Each structure stands twice: as structure tokens, then as C-alpha cells.
Amino acid sequence: MKFIHISDIHLGKIIYQKNLLPLQIDLLKQVIDYLVTHEIDVLVIAGDIYDRAISSNESIETLDWFLNSLINKHHKKVLMISGNHDSNERLNFVSKLLEKQGLYIVAFPEKKIKPIVIDDVNFYLVPYFKPTYIAYLYQHESFVSYQEAFEYYLSKQDIDYTKTNVLVTHQFIAGNKEVIKSDSEVILSVGGSEIIDVESVSQFDYVALGHLHACQKIKYDYVRYAGSLMKYSFDEVNQKKGMLEVEIEDKKVQCKMIPLKPQIDLIKVKGYFKDLLENEINNQDYVSVDLSDTSLIPHANERLKNVYHHILQLTYPYLNQHSSSNQTKANQGFEQKGPLEILEEFYLKMKGEAMDLQTVNLVKDLIEEETQSDT
Ligand SMILES: [Mn+2]
């Protein structure tokens, strides 16, 4: 069987006061067209359907149109879960009534997952959850991490790994390599404890992930983030956005990326002010301008708008770098200063207040210990 895996639609997202909904509608039309033309019957959406928990009327209407057109008009099946941006309660509304129509929404983790079976493939839908929810669900004492809660949750399921199984989840799954992150993602918890090791899901035949906005695989070819529907921040300008077409048969998986083309792109241009003024007019894209100039140009934004009609952001990387390096370097003459003095200055700069006597003494002791062990 074949299915399409997408995620992180973020309906109704606004960047720099631009409502992206018209672009999102066009991209969703491309998704429908692809499923219809290629006779693919199943669409999997791995969370973050909406951009915010309380979505605009227009966003709700858009999802309604999208699902209606897929399910009622084209008789496709849609499997979707909630992400950390969605409101579970709102997404869950009448979801059980819709299953007969071919729309499967899981917004709260089920105590015992009932897999959705399509052509001998079992789809396990696991919406985004916090460890406290799993503790509540099983009346279990608290979990120290997402990893622990997630493993506990899977251990409570009866999954026959000799069958062909697909996991759909919006938890932050990562391997030991760096993942590609974006500014448009919202961190799930402070301190990095939200990360779940990819080995916890490696027994599935395909893992359809949502959350990270760059399309990428995690260690294995069959563990993949589809990435966001379109670019949602300027650090994503070089990313390819699209959907994943997955073919799965008797535990054998093939996967390819199908690009989606937005009507308006997010782009970044870089150069000196006077050179950029000579560039070809771009009245189409949303632009971030990095000016290489070493001093501020009066009315740069207004003047550049003759070339780039939709400038959303303008920065001076050189000036930023220059001022930020001043903030972190010790003041002049640091060679003459001792470690305690330098640390006191650093502390004052970062915290905006001087170290108290207790801390000074502690640092003194540490420096002394370090000096002694060095000799
Ligand atoms: Mn997201």
C-alpha cells in the first residue's frame, strides 16, 4: 500500500503580520491533487494541524474544506494526531463519529491503542503528550523524562512486531546525531528532557514523525520527519518542503520526497546596500535582507522596497556580530586581571548584579583548588 505523510501544517500561521492561510490553502490543494492523480488512498498528518490552540474561524473552515474534499469528494482516508500546537479537546470533537467516514483523529493518547488497519498495515496513532498525562492515564507515579513516559506507554501496548506496523507520533524523536531545528518550532520543555531516543521506536517498520520543521530522517531510512508544509522562519529558506510518499508492503518500505511549490516563497538576500539596489525587482517573495554594510544606512528599508516589495526583515550581520562580541569579551586590559576579577565582571554583565560574598568565596575556593591541582 501507499500513503502520503505530511506534518506541521500550522493552519493560520502569521509571520511578520502576514497571514499565510491563502498560501497554505493552495499547498493543501496540491496535496489533494497529488493523492487523486496518483490514486493514493491514505493521508497521514503527524500533528500541528493548527498553529494555535484557539484557531481562527478561517483556519477551522480551511481544515473543514480540506477534510471534506479528501474524504467526501475523493473517498480518501485521513489519519491524524494532535501536535503540541493543537488543542486536544478541540481536535477531538466528534472524532469517534467520523471514523466510519474514513477520518481517524487521535487527540489524546489511548490507554490501549486500537491500531487502524489498512491493507494489512497497522497504524498506531500517538498524539503529542506530556509525561504527566501518561502518569494520569495509568495512575502511575511521575516520570522523570519524556523518554521514560514514552517507553512506559509503548510497553503498555500489545504490538505484534512480526506484522507491518506504522507509528505516527509528534514526540521529539532524535538519534545521537544533531537534528536540523528551526526557529519556528516551539520547544516542548526547557532543558532538553523532551528528547526521546530513536531506538525506542526502531522496531516499527515506518515512523511518521511531526514536530521538527525540516524534512529529515532520524538514523534509519524508515524514521522520518515530513517537515512543515512551507517555510515558517527565515532559517528554513534553504530547506525543501513537501510531503513524503511511502510505499510499504510486507515490512518493506520505500520513501520519496514530493516537493510542494508555494505561490510565495521565503527568501534571504545578502549584500551591500548599493549592490542590492541594482538587483532585479522582486514583487513576489517574502524577503529577509542581510546588509553587509558596516554602518547603518538611512531609510534602508524604504529604499530597498523599490527592489524587494515585501521585505519582512532587515539585518546588519556585521554590526550585530560586532556589538555582540563586545558584550561577551572582557573589557580591555583583561590580561592584567585575575580569574576572579574577570568572572566577577562577566557575572555582572550577564546578571546585571554583582556576585554576593558567599558566591565570591565559593569561586575563590574553586580557583584555589584548581590552581593547586595544576601544580
Ligand atoms: Mn510544528
Q: At what angle do helices 357-374 and 339-351 cross, to 10 degrees?
A: 140
Q: What is the Å distance from ligand 1's center to 170 Cα?
A: 9
Q: What is the pLDDT of residue 332?
A: 64
- Listed in sequence order, the residues at least 6 apart from 15 whose beta carbon sits closer than 8 Å to its beta carbon are 184, 232, 233, 286, 312
The phi-psi region of residue 304 (left if phi > 0; otherwise alpha if psi is between -120 and 50; otherwise beta) is: alpha
Alpha-carbon separation of residue 6 from 13, 106, 210, 215, 229 (angstroms):
17, 16, 8, 10, 7
Q: What is the Å distance from ligand 1's center to 197 Cα?
A: 19
Q: Which three cell numbers stand for residue 346?
A: 562577566
**CA pair distance 299, 329, nearest whole angstrom:** 31
Q: What is the Å distance from ligand 1's center to 291 Cα?
A: 30
Q: What is the Å distance from ligand 1's center to 184 Cα?
A: 7
For 38, the 3-state DSSP assignment is coil
Strand order of the β-sheet with 42-45 is 103-106, 77-81, 42-45, 2-6, 242-249, 252-259
Q: What is the Å distance from ligand 1's center to 210 Cα?
A: 7
Q: What is the Å distance from ligand 1's center to 93 Cα?
A: 21
Q: What is the Å distance from ligand 1's center to 8 Cα?
A: 5
Q: What is the Å distance from ligand 1's center to 204 Cα?
A: 23
- The secondary element (H helix, E strand) that includes residue 207 is strand 206-209
Q: What is the pLDDT of residue 21?
A: 97
* Tens of each residue's pLDDT in the chain, 375 residues: 999 999 999 999 999 999 999 999 999 999 999 999 999 999 999 999 999 988 899 999 999 999 999 999 999 999 999 998 888 888 888 777 788 899 999 999 999 999 999 999 999 999 999 999 999 999 988 898 999 999 999 999 999 999 999 999 999 999 878 888 888 888 776 555 789 999 999 999 999 999 999 999 999 999 999 999 999 999 999 999 999 999 999 999 999 999 999 999 999 999 999 999 999 999 999 999 999 998 899 999 999 999 999 999 999 998 888 775 555 555 567 777 888 888 888 888 777 778 888 889 999 888 888 877 665
Q: State how beta strands 42-45 and 77-81 pair.
A: parallel
Q: What is the Å distance from ligand 1's center to 79 Cα?
A: 17
